[in-house]
Structure 1
Amino acid sequence: MNPYDSGTATLSAEEREKLILEHLPQVRLIARRIHERLPGSVNLEDLISTGILGLISAIDRYRPDQGVKLKTYAEYKIRGAILDSLRGLDWAPRQQRRRSKQIEQAVAVLEQRLKRAPTEEEIAAELGLSLEEYQEWLSDIRGLNLGSLDASAGDEGGRDLLRFVAGSEEDWPSRQLERKELHRLLKTAISRMPYMERTV
């Protein structure tokens, strides 16, 4: 019996623990699905742990009077917790971090010397690279959250260095994963609709 069927949203510690245990397979399934599309450096157990926190949050915040099944709400919270944790991960191998730092330093040196924003050709020359090699570096660090490269407009001499780096937040692995998951959920929801509603 679902403890929420009693009409109260307050659970005893025993009921809460029982619900968590019942939904653990759901956490593992969601974590495994997400993990399949991630780099090998991401640990599945870490995703499961984060997913469990999302599950606990779902159980604690669930309100049966909102007309959504606990399983559906839990899936949303589990997936959300995992995707949020992925945004905070350092996706970049050491070489990518080193290259982004070298680009940042080269741009800083050139701006000091030239008293203006350098061109791609000038940055490549400063790094001892051909323009093609430099663009390969940019491609390699695409989606990397460069942090310090995003100088705020209020900083004295602040530099908008992100324009020297290809890509945008939309290219981040977590954003791509969110789009895939949204597409999958929409496809599932549409397939469950009556035929006439699907064609509208």
Structure 2
Amino acid sequence: MRLIHAAASPFARKVRVLAAEAGLTPQIQLIDTAVLPIALNERVNALNPLGKVPVLEIDKGEVLFDSRVICEYLDSLHDQPRLIPSEPAARWRALRIAALADGLMDAALLVRYERAVRPAEYQWSEWVEGQMSKVYRALAALESNADELSKMPSIAHISVACALGYLDFRFSEIGWRDNHPELARFQESFAARESMRATIPG
């Protein structure tokens, strides 16, 4: 399998962390590529019409994209406890927390693109504030649901850890730990895992 990714992408990191937790890293060849909204990447576009990473090329010639789909696929390939729970109640709880973390990453990425890619004279501050309000609301909701992160590692833990890691990487100035002590404790513990240490963006 070949994972086309961007090292700075929190969605690609989520896939890599899940793969590591499932013991699948040796089976995956990493192909790092830059993908920006304003620049065409013909290889990525040929595999994913949306032009986004991560993209997983499966050896049989099949292609999967969207981190959620790739994670679901990878979680079907190992014999360890599933990272996406199969028991319905646990599954929906984990996927709900993961969706909240994904939404946080979506909003943060849009702000990053606005600030880093769009010329300063065209940047829309009200739009940025609207996206950041999603980030802050997601942080508050995750803090109030932090008890869900005290259980066995799952897609929820991985998604939240990658979302918080992205804030540390690109938005350290917001100091999210100051008002979210439960999330801070969770991140300190989960970020120490080998899967997280091996995928730190740089």
State the structure with bigger RCO (CA 8 A, min sep 6), 1 or 2.
2
**Higher Rg of the two aligned structures:** 1
> What is the TM-score with the length of structure 2 in the denominator?
0.29
More helix by share: 1
